[in-house]
Structure 1
Amino acid sequence: MRVIAGEFKGRQLKSVPSHQTRPTTDKVKEAVFHMIGPYFERGRALDLFAGSGGLGIEAMSRGVESCVFVDQQQKAIKTIHENIELLKIQERTEVFRTDAMRAIKAAGKRGLSFEFIFLDPPYKKFSYKDLMEALLEHDLIAENGIVICEHDSSESIPSTVGRLKLIKSDIYGTNIGVSIFE
């Protein structure tokens, strides 16, 4: 697993040593960033279900100023810390070991908002509708912010959730879907 473009292009990232985490492949990561724009000027990212932190780190490499990483597994948290230390971006990141809904509520209480929110939960275990409703309820999506969902291609993804509307959706390989809401 590596960083594909930007400041950290070509740098290898550590993977989570667990079968409970499914890393986003380089091909899908490249497709995601092709869909949302290759480079960014500033902004904050939230990487829920972060695993190794690959999506948030890729966003930072391409210009996002800071990222909050959230995962429930201890091995994932350890791997995220190792990756951000490897790239020396500790001062631009926060890492939390908690479940997604608790993280959403906590970020809302802190008044945080994000231009880029990555949702990549274990396939078929979470409702994207519920997650997006919680993001809206706690006002975490910045004006002009987007929510990027990676999902099993067989999962039913809503076309609207509150003010969020599906703007792009594609399938990669035989089973990976990417849907983007704004």
Structure 2
Amino acid sequence: MRIIAGDARGGRLKMVPGKHVRPTADRVKESLFSVIGPFFDGGKGLDLFAGTGALGLEALSRGLDHVTFVDDARASVDTVKENVRLTKMTDRATLIKRDARTYVKTLADQEKYTVIFLDPPYHEGFYETILTCIGEKELLTDEGTLVVEHPSKLEMPGKIAGLSVYRQLSYGDTAITLYEYSQT
């Protein structure tokens, strides 16, 4: 696993020990970032269920100013911390060891993110709960994107809590659904 583009391009990332984390494949990351904008002109990101931190670190490398990484597993938080250090982006990252669902509920309504990555464990069934919370709290900027990685067999809601799907990408067993604020 590596950083594909930007300031930290080519940087190798550590994996979380064990088999409970399913990192986003480089080909999926590359395709995703070509869709959501290969580079960012500043802004903030939120990487929920961060795992290795690969998505948030890729966004930092491509120009986001700051990313908050949230995961409740000590092994994941330690791995993200090491990956942030390896990519030399410690001053642009905040690590939070907490359940992502609880963390989102505590965010102030005025918090705004350019991009939010949501990549929970596939065996959990709480997509709608966290999508609803993100939408109701209006955590995205007006032009922001919510990136949801999920099993391709899982049907994601087309509209939920003011968010609507604007694109879906599929890569075998993995799918990514992109949300933005509804225009209507």
The correspondence of residues 23-62 of structure 1 with structure 2, limited to 5 A, is: 23-62=23-62
Displacement of 1:112 after TM fit? 2.0
Q: Quick check: 163-172 or 50-59, which moved more?
A: 163-172
The correspondence of residues 8-27 of structure 1 with structure 2, limited to 5 A, is: 8-27=8-27
User: 1:159 corresponds to which residue?
Assistant: 158
User: 2:69 corresponds to which residue?
Assistant: 69
**Which of residues 174, 177, 183 is equivalent to 1:176?**
174
- Determine the C-alpha separation between the residues in 2 that align with 1:106 and 1:94: 16
What's the CA shift string for 1:124-160, capped at 9, x where partnerless?
A: 4133222111112333222211100111000010111
- Work out whether residues 14 and 79 of structure 1, in 8 Å CA contact, stay in contact via their aligned partners in 2: yes
Displacement of 1:123 after TM fit? 1.0
Displacement of 1:51 after TM fit? 0.3
- Determine the C-alpha separation between the residues in 1 that align with 2:104 and 2:16: 23
Gaps of 5+ in 1: none
Identical pairs, percent = 37
- Determine the C-alpha separation between the residues in 1 that align with 2:111 and 2:18: 31
CA-atom RMSD, angstroms?
1.2
Q: TM-score scaled to structure 2, two decimals?
A: 0.93
User: 1:125 corresponds to which residue?
Assistant: 124
- Determine the C-alpha separation between the residues in 2 that align with 1:30 and 1:108: 32
- Determine the C-alpha separation between the residues in 1 that align with 2:128 and 2:19: 26
Q: Quick check: 162-171 or 44-53, which moved more?
A: 162-171
- Work out whether residues 11 and 86 of structure 2, in 8 Å CA contact, stay in contact via their aligned partners in 1: no
- Determine the C-alpha separation between the residues in 2 that align with 1:22 and 1:118: 14
Q: TM-score scaled to structure 1, two decimals?
A: 0.94
- Determine the C-alpha separation between the residues in 1 that align with 2:106 and 2:89: 23
Aligned residues: 180
- Determine the C-alpha separation between the residues in 2 that align with 1:169 and 1:124: 20
User: 1:96 corresponds to which residue?
Assistant: 96
- Work out whether residues 136 and 161 of structure 2, in 8 Å CA contact, stay in contact via their aligned partners in 1: no
What's the CA shift string for 1:65-87, capped at 9, x where partnerless?
A: 10000011100000000011112
- Determine the C-alpha separation between the residues in 2 that align with 1:17 and 1:34: 29
Gaps of 5+ in 2: none
- Work out whether residues 45 and 67 of structure 1, in 8 Å CA contact, stay in contact via their aligned partners in 2: yes
User: 1:108 corresponds to which residue?
Assistant: 108
- SS of 2:34's equivalent in the other structure is helix
Displacement of 1:162 after TM fit? 2.1
